[in-house]
Amino acid sequence: MISKRLSELRKKKQWSLQYIADQLNIAKSTYAGYESGYRQPSLEAVKELAVLFGTTTDYLLGVTDKEQPTIELTHLTFHMTIDGEPVTEDEIIQLIAFIRTKRELEKHKK
Amino acid sequence: MISKRLSELRKKKQWSLQYIADQLNIAKSTYAGYESGYRQPSLEAVKELAVLFGTTTDYLLGVTDKEQPTIELTHLTFHMTIDGEPVTEDEIIQLIAFIRTKRELEKHKK
DNA sequence: AATAAAGGTACGCGAATCGCGAACAATTTT
DNA sequence: AAAATTGTTCGCGATTCGCGTACCTTTATT
């Protein structure tokens, strides 16, 4: 599973084996082994690959099929930052109102 | 890192080593090795452990340190919805501007 | 077109580490 | 206090890791 995911992601980004190997400081053949299924990456490598590809280890490992987590803002079940500064709950409520209003206006425009 | 997480989660749930070993069909000593750091679980085992504990592999592996993930909005590395409707990239840019402006105003109030 | 450079694939080798069983200590249950 | 359960550690054989190397294919340069 992880080999398939790695292969797909790398091709989508149009990265070479060598580039990824350099990023993780491993041999090209080592990374190639991950994609071919000939080898399994270490847990540390899995972590680094998830960060490099901008995805989650859950996706790489096949726990989930979603490359990027989808978050429903109104559920408030996570922490968020902008410019490194935590977004307060009040601010999130304002954000939601902002978007709702904007959408409402868009609707009437048509 | 994973050893710490496994140990914490198991104790919180008050499960025995044997119980988890049985669930994953591995030897007690094998799982014990995961917690002590003497061994590293296979990728498959990590997946199963995440499901068993009702958490994510990202949490087990320490990609995310908080139970609730923190997301930096300006990185645009995830999908977001409000009222089930996808928030577009443009909207996110507007949200960021909105909060930045609001913060700027707050600053001058003092 | 010929050559060089870069990208991709396959495999042998030594080293690292896996999973298991066993032995034993610590704790809980009866 | 004896028995049962739980937790810890370690040696062993087997697996598999990561690297280097060799080789083929594709792309870039002249």
Digit-coded pLDDT (tens) for B74-100: 766 667 888 878 888 888 888 889 889
Closest residue by Cα to residue A2 from B47, B49, B39 = B47
- Tell me the domains of chain B and their CATH numbers: 2-61 (1.10.260.40), 71-109 (no CATH)
A56 touches chain B (CB under 8 A): yes
Q: What is the pLDDT of residue B45?
A: 96
- Which residue is it, tokens 């899995």? A46
Q: What does the pLDDT average to over B40-54?
A: 92
Q: What is the pLDDT of residue B68?
A: 55
What pTM was estimated for this model as a whole?
Answer: 0.75
Residue B1 in tokens: 């890192």
Residue B15 (CA) to nucleotide D3 (C1'), in angstroms, measures 21
Count of H-run helices and E-run strands, chain A = 6, 3
Residues B5-24 have pLDDT tens digits of 999 999 999 999 999 999 99
Q: How confident is the model at residue B108 (pLDDT cuts 50, 70, 90)?
A: confident
The answer to whether the beta carbon of residue B33 comes closer than 7 angstroms to any atom of strand C is: yes
Q: What does the pLDDT average to over A1-21?
A: 94
Q: What is the pLDDT of residue B70?
A: 64
Residue B95 in tokens: 């949200």
Contact A14, A24 (CB under 8 A): no
Alpha-carbon gap, residue B83 to B78, rounded angstroms:
17
What strands, in cross-sheet order, belong to the sheet with B70-72? A85-86, A79-82, B70-72
Residue B4 in tokens: 């710490």
Query: Which bases of strand D sit closer than 7 A to a protein CB?
Result: 5-10, 16-22
Q: Is the dihedral of CA B40, B41, B47, B51 positive or negative?
A: negative
Alpha-carbon gap, residue A20 to A104, rounded angstroms:
45
Protein residue minimizing CA–C1' distance to C18: B39
DSSP B86: E
Q: Tell me the nearest-neighbour CA distance from B37 into chain A, angstroms.
A: 13
Looking at the predicted structure, is the pLDDT value of residue B66 above 70?
Answer: no
Least-confidence region, from A35-39, A92-96, B69-73: B69-73
Mean pLDDT of chain B: 87
Residues A56-98 have pLDDT tens digits of 899 999 998 877 776 777 766 567 888 878 888 888 888 889 8
